[in-house]
Amino acid sequence: MSSLPHPALSESRITGAARLAGVIGWPVTHSRSPALHNHWLARYGLDGAYVPLPVAPGRLAEALSGLRACGFRGVNITLPHKEAAFALCDSLDDSARGAGAANTLVFTEDGRIHGLCTDGTGFLDNLRAHGVDPLAGPALILGAGGSARAIAAGLLGLGVPVTIANRTPERAEALCAALPGLARLDWADWAAALGRFALLVNTTSAGMGGTPALTPDLAAAADSLTVADIVYVPRLTPFLAAAEARGLRCVGGLGMLLHQARGGFSAWFGIDPVVDDALAALVGADIPER
């Protein structure tokens, strides 16, 4: 595997020896991954293609078998297949085990499926790209879904103290049981406890699909608090707008999407790609600011 500097954009080329990968979901029309990966393929002048792969629920195992038979190098996995993909892997790396999910599958030469979860590393790389040190201090994560688990596992792996708060306490308790070392706050108490934390991360679905947005009370936050949101539509979510109004450093979710794609691209196409302004402009061209 090689890592290249920012080369000039070159023409992509497809031959009979092209390396193939894609994204599986149902639906998959909304995915920004094809634009992202094909931009990299063109940038590096690689012989390959990355395609959307609509696969109905219940047909994932059949689809993966067919893709391996057709010579695909691997796939990304999105809803509703993440749990099924995790169960179908022959081997898992530490990121997938910690997250309890596999969003990136690599088809090995011996016909096996190796699973990774790049959400945690994508989140951490996005923090660093914004000049934020993940080791700056304790982190508080709002939410207890798959993204919360992946991010918590990534931070815990670095030795960062991590606490979660979730509206449904049973889900928070289940996540704490799955990740030793993870602490829990009652939902009603997290805003008042903000002074203890260096990083606040919103992984809840509030504001998505027409649901009311989460606008945090940041009065107790230290001026050094960094506030991150994994949602990237819009770029400045109400959660981040509240942090910006308070004068706090903000980290949006688009960079996490871009950085989490690097692991799969590296495994399938042999190059560690660059996340730069050109890529962000392409993938986020139609994303409103607010």
170 annotated as belonging to a binding site for a ligand: yes
95 is in an annotated binding site: no
Residue tagged active-site, from 82, 114, 149, 262: 82
Residue 162, strand partner residues: 139
If we measure between CA atoms, which residue out of 264, 261, 258 comes closest to residue 278? 258
- A 10 A CB-CB count for 219 gives 10
What sign does the dihedral 224-229-232-236 (CA atoms) show? negative
Q: Residue 167 annotated as binding?
A: yes
- Annotated active-site residue 254? The verdict is no
- How far CA 222 is from CA of 26, 242, 252, in Å, comes to 42, 14, 19
User: Do residues 253 and 229 make contact, with C-beta atoms less than 8 angstroms apart?
Assistant: yes
Spatial contact of 153 and 179, defined as CB atoms under 8 Å apart: yes
196 is in an annotated binding site: no
Is 230 assigned to a binding site?
A: yes
- 144 annotated as ligand-binding: yes
| 33-43 vs 262-269: helix crossing angle, rounded to 10 | 50
| Residue 97 among known ligand-binding residues | no
Establish whether 285 is an annotated binding residue: no
- Is 207 one of the annotated binding-site residues? no
Catalytically annotated residues: 82
> Which residues define the annotated binding site for NADP(+)?
94, 143-147, 166-171, 230, 253
Binding-site entries for shikimate: 31-33, 78, 103, 119, 232, 260
| Known binding-site residue numbers | 31-33, 78, 94, 103, 119, 143-147, 166-171, 230, 232, 253, 260
